[in-house]
């Protein structure tokens, strides 16, 4: 008997329950109610976001697989393609940082290798609260150890990412993890249960009582001290088992035995079974008593909704069942035939010989609720008077302070804990603009980058989201690679609040406009709502993951100043913009807008120019100007190269904005003097403002503005601050 209380416990509204009655023509039993609850959770059904996401551009000449599968896939030529996706593991990571982050890595890896791809790189995009907030150092430490623990053990390098700290994340941290794999174009696998009579095989870890209703949890906000009671919904990862699964699956994919495959992620067996049947338009019969379980007495309800990790559901050709079982046996993996594909269009679940659920497959996703939730458009946050502030007395001190801030300081403390080299493809290691991975057997490399500036998004979600795409593209182009496609991970508060839905709609519009302007379709993604505690939401955080292609790895361009005497030039032009800058936050403790403007056409031209200059081998280094502004960008080039520079700028705007403003659409390049005229011409052809501003020389970074010496700092002193500040901030820990 389904009571109103049970319905509420399953996070289903009365309206949703009526829809269930209508689909079934009867009352569901408890197992069926659980299935609907999981499949119609925000996490699985995208019920609040779907109508907005459909506006994103998702197709393009290189797109092989767009959204809707385990991962998106784009063509990179030579018969190869890259599969990639980003996903959030925010809620579990706040409750139990190590396992929450670790299983986030495990989940995204499975999404990529189920497509037939060998994962070659992970990225992590992390948002934490202030380091002095309660539990925060414990969370930072746990998340980093969790990502390291899983990624290092399974042997997939973690090569790039970003980490920001802001009070807005004090009680809701964000852990977004992206993975990229390489697959032969004609060996792509999908999550489809096809061919009536084909066996359904369960493989991997046994099913336990962990993580039941994890998807539902990810679809609720935290209230008060509830995190304690939710502990059992966090799963525990076993990277060793996943390594075996990875190798066994890739070995199987080289045979012709596999028809379809999907991992059991959020909502476990339920979602993989229904999605596989739904996509193929087929039906399934599954005997839940055959599912390997960790403890006796587990009910069908628990078996269906468990989110135990490292499990896969696979449909094989009936005549190749033995091959499948032999490969799994070689890798010491337990594989069990638990059912078969039918053409009934229904998913029928048995337990101990009785039918415990009998549901139509397609309506669970086709007729999932879709909400056009009420929303109020966000009011962009403007200036609160920074324009009237006096100029600083010591610009060098400002630069040092910004380099020491946790958001700008080098995060080697994080990425040296990650194996970022296994696989021997990492050509450009963490800490540059984008990481570069060569593709063995070709001359190519792919560039990978994740990006979003939550401070910008907090001021203006539309612009912030558009800038995230533009900045990722610029970073990728700075390496010489051409941006190809995007995955996104949209982290927001509760969609039930109109102001959050307003932010969401604006951010998706920003992504959409920028992706169109830069010709980078969105091929996969994830939405994480309910990132709020006691009614306080995180800043809107639409994380962008981007992949680019470098045709010839020998043409790659790094950030570091390369040679004494090289000319330093700026591409793009600074505006009088200090709103939302690291300078205002760090030096003046001011959080105010406006978000910098973004000119998407200009961004596209800059990207084209950077790619062309690299192709022609004209530049020695290139670096995107972003957090901390031009002064920080110059310092980074200098510190990485161990070389100084003498820079001279005309005072077009106030010097603080010239040095520390975060105007978009800019890059710093260096080149041999002989190349200057060619570069100047190329920039003019792309209508990108070009200005030679100095030379690489010596061991001091000096910046003059209209003749006035504003910055004069030894590069090695700056480097010491930049390289050690983050570790010192963490080491000041009282809880590690």
Partner 1 sequence: MSGKPLFAIVVFPGSNCDQDCHHVATELLGCRAEYVWHRDTDLKNADVVILPGGFAYGDYLRAGALARFSPVMESVARFAMDGGPVLGICNGFQVLLEAGLLPGAVRVNRGLRYVCRDVHLKVENTGTAFTRLYEPGDVVRMPIGHMEGNYTAPPETLTELEYEGRIVFRYCDAEGRITDAANPNGATAAIAGISNREGNVVGLMPHPDRCAEGVLGNDVGRRMFESAALALARR
Binding mask 655-674 for partner 1 (x = CB under 8 A): --------------------
Q: In what order do the strands lie in the sheet with 645-649?
A: 621-624, 667-671, 567-571, 690-696, 645-649, 700-705, 708-714
- The residue range among 126-134, 150-158, 209-217, 334-342 that interacts with partner 1, by the rule CB under 8 A, is 150-158
Q: Which of 13, 18, 59, 554 binds partner 1 (CB under 8 A)?
A: 554
Least CB distance from residue 160 to partner 1, whole Å? Answer: 14
Q: Which of 257, 427, 598, 602 binds partner 1 (CB under 8 A)?
A: 427
Q: What is d(CA 734, CA 241) in angstroms, rounded to the nearest whole number?
A: 35
Q: Which of 419, 532, 603, 713 binds partner 1 (CB under 8 A)?
A: 419
- The residue range among 76-84, 423-431, 601-609, 670-678 that interacts with partner 1, by the rule CB under 8 A, is 423-431
Name which of 499 and 552 has its Cβ closer to partner 1: 552
Q: Which of 415, 456, 583, 722 binds partner 1 (CB under 8 A)?
A: 415
Token pair for 623: 């670096």
| Span 506-535, contacts to partner 1 by CB under 8 A | none
Q: Which of 188, 422, 563, 697 binds partner 1 (CB under 8 A)?
A: 422
One of 89, 166, 213, 420 is an active-site residue; which one? 89
Q: Which of 418, 456, 462, 722 binds partner 1 (CB under 8 A)?
A: 418
- Residues 38/270, Cβ–Cβ less than 8 Å: yes
User: Looking at 241-295, which runs of residues are DSSP E strands?
Assistant: 258-263, 283-287
Clarify whether 89 is annotated catalytic.
Answer: yes
- Residues 261/314, Cβ–Cβ less than 8 Å: yes
Q: How many residues touch partner 1 (CB under 8 A)?
A: 32
- Residues 174/127, Cβ–Cβ less than 8 Å: yes
Nearest CA-CA partner of 666 in 717, 721, 619, 596: 596
Using CB under 8 A as the binding rule, whether residue 728 contacts partner 1 is answered as no
Beta pairing, strands 482-491 & 522-528 = parallel
Using CB under 8 A as the binding rule, whether residue 310 contacts partner 1 is answered as no
One of 10, 43, 166, 213 is an active-site residue; which one? 43
Q: Which of 18, 59, 424, 616 binds partner 1 (CB under 8 A)?
A: 424
How many Cβ atoms from other residues are within 10 Å of residue 554's Cβ? 10
Binding mask 117-146 for partner 1 (x = CB under 8 A): ----------------------------x-
For residue 614, give the 3-state DSSP assignment: helix
Q: Which of 60, 377, 423, 617 binds partner 1 (CB under 8 A)?
A: 423
For residue 153, which phi and psi values (nearest 5 degrees)?
Answer: -65, -45
| Span 190-249, contacts to partner 1 by CB under 8 A | 238-241, 243-244
Least CB distance from residue 559 to partner 1, whole Å? Answer: 14
Using CB under 8 A as the binding rule, whether residue 187 contacts partner 1 is answered as no
Q: Which of 36, 113, 331, 504 binds partner 1 (CB under 8 A)?
A: 331
Q: What is d(CA 200, CA 197) in angstroms, rounded to the nearest whole number?
A: 9
| Span 573-612, contacts to partner 1 by CB under 8 A | none
- The residue range among 98-106, 130-138, 411-419, 711-719 that interacts with partner 1, by the rule CB under 8 A, is 411-419
Least CB distance from residue 332 to partner 1, whole Å? Answer: 6
Name which of 284 and 553 has its Cβ closer to partner 1: 553
With the C-alpha atoms ordered 613, 615, 620, 625, is the resulting torsion angle positive or negative? positive
> What is the total residue count of the chain?
736
Q: What is d(CA 357, CA 278) in angstroms, rounded to the nearest whole number?
A: 16
- Residues 436/552, Cβ–Cβ less than 8 Å: no
Clarify whether 43 is annotated catalytic.
Answer: yes
Q: What angle do CA 179, 77, 188 make, to 5 degrees?
A: 55
Name which of 13 and 554 has its Cβ closer to partner 1: 554
Residue 670: cis peptide before it, omega within 30 degrees of 0: no
Using CB under 8 A as the binding rule, whether residue 155 contacts partner 1 is answered as yes
- DSSP state string for 505-555: HHHHHHHHHHHHHTT--EEEEEEE---EETTEEPPPEEEEEEEEEES-GGG
Q: Which of 5, 15, 225, 332 binds partner 1 (CB under 8 A)?
A: 332
- The residue range among 41-49, 151-159, 162-170, 685-693 that interacts with partner 1, by the rule CB under 8 A, is 151-159
Using CB under 8 A as the binding rule, whether residue 720 contacts partner 1 is answered as no
Name which of 398 and 427 has its Cβ closer to partner 1: 427
Least CB distance from residue 157 to partner 1, whole Å? Answer: 9
Using CB under 8 A as the binding rule, whether residue 75 contacts partner 1 is answered as no
Q: Which of 340, 373, 438, 605 binds partner 1 (CB under 8 A)?
A: 438
Interior/surface letters 35-74, b for 16+ CB within 10 angstroms, e for the rest: bbbbbbbbbbbbbbbeebbeebbbebebbbbbbebbbbbb
Least CB distance from residue 414 to partner 1, whole Å? Answer: 11
Name which of 220 and 238 has its Cβ closer to partner 1: 238
Least CB distance from residue 243 to partner 1, whole Å? Answer: 6
Token pair for 337: 């035939």
Beta pairing, strands 354-360 & 532-533 = unpaired
- DSSP state string for 160-226: EEEEEE-GGGTTS-EEEEEEEEEEEGGG-------STTPEEEEEESPB-STTTTHHHHTTS-B-TTT
Q: Which of 83, 553, 570, 688 binds partner 1 (CB under 8 A)?
A: 553
Q: What is d(CA 252, CA 92) in angstroms, rounded to the nearest whole number?
A: 32
Using CB under 8 A as the binding rule, whether residue 420 contacts partner 1 is answered as yes
Using CB under 8 A as the binding rule, whether residue 442 contacts partner 1 is answered as no
Q: Tell the residue number behind the tokens 């910004």, with chain if given.
A: 402
The residues annotated as belonging to the active site are: 43, 89
The residues of the shown chain that bind partner 1, judged by CB under 8 A, are: 145, 148, 152-155, 238-241, 243-244, 330-332, 412, 415-424, 426-427, 438, 440, 553-554
């Amino acid at each position: 008997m389904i009571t109103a209380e049970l319905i509420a416990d399953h996070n289903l509204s009365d309206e949703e329950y009526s829809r269930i009655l209508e689909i079934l023509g009867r009352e569901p039993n408890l197992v069926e109610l659980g299935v609907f609850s999981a499949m119609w959770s925000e996490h699985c059904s995208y019920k609040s976001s779907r109508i907005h996401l459909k506006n994103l551009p998702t197709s393009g000449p290189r797109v092989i697989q767009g959204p809707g599968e385990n991962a998106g896939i784009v063509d990179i030529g030579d018969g190869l393609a890259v599969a990639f996706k980003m996903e959030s593991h925010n809620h579990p990571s706040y409750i139990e940082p190590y396992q929450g982050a670790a299983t986030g890595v495990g989940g995204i890896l499975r999404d990529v290798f189920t497509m037939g791809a060998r994962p070659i790189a992970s990225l992590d995009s992390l948002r934490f609260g202030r380091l002095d907030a309660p539990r925060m150092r414990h969370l930072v430490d746990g998340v980093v150890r969790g990502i390291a623990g899983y990624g290092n053990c399974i042997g997939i390098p973690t090569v790039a990412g970003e980490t920001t700290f802001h009070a807005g994340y004090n009680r809701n941290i964000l852990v977004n993890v992206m993975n990229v794999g390489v697959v032969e174009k004609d060996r792509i696998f999908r999550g489809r249960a096809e061919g009536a009579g084909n066996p359904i095989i369960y493989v991997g870890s046994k099913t336990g009582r962990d993580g039941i209703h994890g998807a539902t949890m990810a679809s609720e906000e935290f209230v008060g001290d509830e995190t304690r009671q939710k502990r059992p919904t966090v799963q525990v990862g076993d990277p060793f088992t996943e390594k075996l699964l990875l190798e066994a699956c890739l070995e199987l994919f080289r045979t012709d035995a596999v028809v379809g495959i999907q991992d059991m992620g959020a909502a476990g067996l339920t979602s993989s079974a229904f999605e596989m049947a739904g996509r193929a338009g087929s039906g399934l019969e599954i005997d839940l008593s055959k599912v390997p379980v960790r403890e006796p007495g587990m009910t069908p309800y628990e078996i269906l909704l468990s989110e135990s990790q490292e499990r896969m559901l696979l449909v094989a050709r009936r005549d190749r069942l033995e091959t499948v079982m032999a490969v799994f046996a070689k890798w010491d993996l337990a594989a069990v035939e638990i059912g078969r594909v039918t053409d009934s269009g229904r998913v029928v679940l048995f337990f101990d010989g009785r039918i415990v659920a009998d549901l139509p497959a397609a309506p669970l996703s086709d007729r999932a609720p879709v909400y056009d939730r009420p929303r109020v458009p966000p009011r962009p946050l403007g200036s609160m008077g920074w324009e009237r502030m006096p100029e600083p007395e010591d610009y060098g001190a400002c630069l040092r302070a910004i380099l020491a801030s946790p958001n700008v300081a080098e995060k080697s403390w994080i990425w040296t804990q990650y194996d970022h080299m296994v696989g021997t493809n990492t050509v450009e290691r963490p800490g540059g603009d984008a990481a570069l991975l060569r593709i063995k057997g070709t001359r190519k490399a792919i560039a990978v980058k994740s990006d979003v500036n939550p401070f910008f998004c907090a001021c203006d979600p539309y612009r912030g989201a558009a800038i995230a795409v533009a900045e990722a593209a610029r970073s990728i182009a700075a390496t010489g690679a051409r941006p190809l496609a995007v995955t996104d991970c949209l982290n927001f508060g509760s969609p039930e609040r109109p102001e959050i839905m307003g932010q969401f709609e604006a951010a998706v519009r920003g992504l959409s406009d920028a992706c169109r302007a830069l010709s980078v379709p969105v091929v996969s993604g994830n939405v994480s709502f309910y990132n709020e505690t006691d009614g306080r939401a995180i800043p809107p955080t639409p994380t962008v993951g981007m992949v680019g292609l470098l045709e010839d790895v020998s043409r790659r361009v790094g950030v570091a100043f390369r040679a004494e005497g090289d000319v330093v030039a700026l591409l793009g032009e600074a505006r009088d913009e200090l709103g939302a800058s690291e300078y205002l936050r760090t030096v003046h403790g001011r959080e105010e807008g406006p978000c910098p403007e973004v000119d998407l056409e200009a961004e596209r031209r800059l990207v084209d120019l950077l790619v062309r200059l690299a192709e022609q081998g004209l530049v020695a280094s290139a670096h995107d100007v972003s957090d901390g502004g031009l002064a920080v960008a110059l310092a980074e080039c200098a510190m990485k190269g161990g070389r100084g520079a003498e820079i001279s700028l005309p005072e077009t705007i106030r010097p603080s904005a010239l040095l520390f403003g975060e105007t978009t659409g800019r890059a710093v390049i260096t080149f041999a003097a002989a190349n200057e005229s060619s570069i100047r011409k190329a920039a003019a052809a792309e209508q990108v403002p070009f200005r030679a501003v100095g030379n690489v020389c010596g061991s001091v970074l000096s910046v003059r503005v209209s003749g006035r010496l504003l910055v004069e700092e030894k590069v090695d002193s700056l480097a010491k601050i930049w390289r050690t500040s983050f570790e010192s901030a963490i080491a000041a820990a009282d809880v590690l």
